[in-house]
Amino acid sequence: MTTVSRGLPDRPHLDVPKREARELLDLWRNGDRDALDRIRRCHPKFADADDARVATGPFRLSDAQYVIAREYGLAHWTELKQRIAADSVAKELMAAIRADDCAAAVRLVQAHPEVLHIPLWSGNWGPPMSHAANIGRLEIIQAMAALGARDFQHALDRAVLQGQIECARWLLANGARMEPGIVMGACETLDANGIRFAAETNVPFTDAHGDRLAPLAMVLETYGRHPEEKHEILDIFVQRGYQLPDTPMMAFHRGDLARLEEHLRRNPRLLEHRFTIGEIYPAECGCGRSGPGLHWTPIDGATLLHLAVDFREQEMFDCAPPSTATVTADTRPCSMPSFAEWGIARR
């Protein structure tokens, strides 16, 4: 299955997405399976439709343009056109925000008010106020609000996701709300500041649909690799009443080497064990609902050493004799040295 997600090129031109929309329409007419899946993922009209329903349509050029805009991370075709037309100004404004040059950012928006409400870089990072929230530019957030920015809620989402708590507090005091699901972003990025702030505000630890296991599953399955923050986040989940399984892999996820040693004493061959995806990402924690995690390297069948490499558990390497802790560039589990070569005992 093809996943289509893209950013605008350095010098975007509307002719390119126009061509892509026509090509998508042609693929739909030919019943292309990947095209049907792209339409289902990006067009709300077909969100719950099977292939036969998507293939039946109706699906017009305007629908194809909408899908292409969504694949670029923008809300709709009109927003895509606006973003391309304002490309040079958007880049100047991004540079001003990154440099924390509030005066320059204000001048640009006053001269080009159309950029105040369109994403500067991507739909995720959002319009100027949200863009500033991502990198903790509170003065610019306040200035964009004074100029008429409306994206308070998106800016709060991004501030929590990035752990920009001073910005989050200001946005919360100025109309944004800690809504169910907001914790998911900080779970994805493994940002302990964002998770602590969510706990402080007593927002439900759920996704937008009320699933309380979804945030826990995201912490375990995310592509993020910040072990110390992950350990702290899992401790916060326990403090909020989550029951985590007492398994070697959960001790690994939590960075609890003392508990992992207890498992090793019970089962000395644990060092040679090749863990399945189901053991690494336990179903009882909500894992496995959307596929085998968000990691990049194949880890099904990995040993503890292989997993220590992938999850960047440096403390485990600190226990290893230098001659045996080296991992080759080939990241296939079978090619890595066995964790049993050096053991895990803390010294």
Q: Is 91 helix (H, G, I), strand (E, B) or coil?
A: helix
pLDDT at 294: 78
pLDDT at 236: 98
Domain 86-173 has CATH 1.25.40.20: yes
Residue ranges of alpha helices (H) inside the chain are: 15-29, 33-42, 51-56, 61-71, 77-85, 87-98, 102-111, 128-134, 138-146, 152-162, 165-173, 183-189, 192-200, 213-221, 227-239, 248-253, 257-266, 277-280, 304-311, 314-318
Which residues, 6+ apart, have CB-to-CB distance to 144 below 8 Å?
105, 109, 116, 127, 128, 129, 132
For 215-278, give the DSSP string: HHHHHHH-S---HHHHHHHHHHHHHTT-----SHHHHHHTT-HHHHHHHHHH-GGGGG--B-HH
Is the pTM higher than 0.85? The answer reads no
* Residue environment code for 8-18, b if the CB has 16+ CB neighbours within 10 A, otherwise e: beeebeeeebb
Q: Hey, where are the domains in the chain?
A: 15-83, 86-173, 183-239, 248-341
- Structure tokens, 111: 């001269």
- List per-residue pLDDT tens for the chain, 347 residues long: 333 457 788 889 999 999 999 999 999 999 999 999 999 999 999 999 999 999 999 999 999 999 999 999 899 999 999 999 999 999 999 999 999 999 999 999 999 999 999 999 988 999 999 999 999 999 999 999 999 999 999 999 999 999 999 999 999 999 999 999 999 999 999 999 999 999 999 999 999 999 999 999 999 999 999 999 999 999 999 999 999 999 999 999 999 999 999 999 999 899 889 999 999 999 999 998 877 677 778 899 999 988 998 999 977 655 543 433 444 434 444 333 333 343 433 33
